[in-house]
Structure 1
Amino acid sequence: MLCARIRLLVAATIAYNVVEAVVAITAGTVASSIALIGFGLDSVIEVSSAAAVAWQFAAPDPERRERVALRVIAWSFFALAAYVTVEALRTLVGGHEADRSDVGIALLALSVVVMPFLSWAQRRAGRELGSASAVAGSKQTLLCSYLSAAVLLGLVLNAVLGWWWADPVVALAVAVVAVREGRAALRGETCCPPVRPGDEDDGCDRCGPGAEA
């Protein structure tokens, strides 16, 4: 039942991100917005991460594929961080100012609402099943929502106040978080051991039967 729920959530994540990528890259190209194009490419990266989890849970024994899935997710984080960093620095150095994109703003506003819900649902199912890769995938989905908010803020500030530098500055902070999460996924540190009776909960993400949802 839990595996079926994770497969359904992964399928929903892939479908949404494919649409998100097409709309964002098209709108970004029209508006000459590097940040919006970068957001669309982030959606492509997230599809690869979700596909890795889908591949894992398509097997009769998902645990045997978990290490490979975690590596794919980790390197997806690193690829996202690298691209966001390069494009943010290029934008800052070049002083590039994008045109207003109402389509981009609407898409990002929708993503800020949808992506946290998908992340929460994936994380809960992954923790109940005890799957580190599912939890890692949920973190990447949540990171996508942070990036959505950052790019949305940048587009709005640029459209309203002309602050073209706001988006790349916030995007650099997102890149730092992406590197941290990628390292955790690479080491398999997306879950912690269950809390024993009498122990104090340290707030870490826990997976497996009996984990808090």
Structure 2
Amino acid sequence: MSANTLTEERRSRLHRRVKFIVGFTITWNVIEAIIALAAGAVASSAALIGFGLDSVIEVASAAAIAWQFTRADPERWEKVTVRVIGIAFFALAAYVTVDAILALTGVRDPDHSPIGIGIAIASLIVMPALAWFEFRTGRELGSKSVQADAKQLLLCIYLSGTVLIGLLLNTLFGWAWADSIAALVVAVLAIREGIEAWRGDLESPFEVLEDLDQDVR
């Protein structure tokens, strides 16, 4: 069903679903940001601090979507909201890059962080389902802003995985540089996603799952 053929009842239901998704996203990421930033500051971890800042940016991104869908005509604000999300990606990439370079040059020396490992694992459990649910909703609505916000959540999945790998390598083998390399990988991904969001070029990050869903139907 395309956005143009949606009934008013279905459209209203999807709007309510978007509000639920952004409400959950904001709550989860506020908690995640507090834990990750505190743990990152204690451990001097560039990747973990970047992870916490990504959570802050996800809150801002979700808040932009929430604002859009409180308007009488949400579709009218699509372009502005997508651009805001694109800027959020670039801001994250800039900070993470600087912090990672400081760590690689010896200005900061990351320590072990069991709490950081735990929050990264929790994010890997929650975020994939939430991102997939939001992207499907945005696609059915024909909303690029909702799809862009889902890709922001997808970046959180990438970030969680790279941060977890970096923290584990540092903990198990003492490879402090792995933390910074993980952070730089995230910065590259953030720039790519920011460019796509700015252009409004939002391909589905869940193509395999969508193909399976179509086969079931």
* TM-score under structure 1 length normalisation: 0.86
1:50-105 CA-to-partner distances (Å, cap 9, x unmatched) read 11111111112101111110111000010011111111111111174322211111
In the alignment, structure 2 segments of 5+ residues that lack a partner are 1-12, 211-216
Match of 1:55 among 62, 67, 70: 67
Report the Cα offset of residue 39 of structure 1.
1.4
* TM-score under structure 2 length normalisation: 0.85
2:46·2:96 contact (CA, 8 Å) conserved in 1? no
Match of 2:202 among 181, 185, 190: 190
Indicate whether 1:142 and 2:154 are aligned. Answer: yes
Distance in 2, matches of 1:20 and 1:191, equals 27
Report the Cα offset of residue 128 of structure 1.
0.7
**Aligned alpha-carbon RMSD (Å):** 2.1
Distance in 1, matches of 2:96 and 2:37, equals 14
Indicate whether 1:11 and 2:26 are aligned. Answer: no
1:111-168 CA-to-partner distances (Å, cap 9, x unmatched) read 0111111111110100011000000000010101111111111111101101111121
Distance in 1, matches of 2:166 and 2:157, equals 14
Aligned length: 197
| Deviation larger for 55-64 or 173-182 | 173-182
Distance in 2, matches of 1:98 and 1:177, equals 22
- Counterpart of 1:199? none
- The residue type paired with residue 83 of structure 2 is R
Structure with more of its chain in helix, by fraction = 2
- The residue type paired with residue 35 of structure 1 is A
Distance in 1, matches of 2:105 and 2:188, equals 19
2:44·2:108 contact (CA, 8 Å) conserved in 1? no
Distance in 2, matches of 1:17 and 1:142, equals 13
- Counterpart of 1:70? 82
- Counterpart of 2:96? 84
- Counterpart of 1:40? 52
In the alignment, structure 1 segments of 5+ residues that lack a partner are 193-202, 207-212
Report the Cα offset of residue 186 of structure 1.
1.1
- The residue type paired with residue 173 of structure 1 is V
1:96·1:164 contact (CA, 8 Å) conserved in 2? no
2:103·2:110 contact (CA, 8 Å) conserved in 1? no
- Counterpart of 1:112? 124
Distance in 1, matches of 2:97 and 2:45, equals 15
In structure 2, the CA distance between the partners of 1:191 and 1:98, relative to structure 1 (3 Å rule), is closer
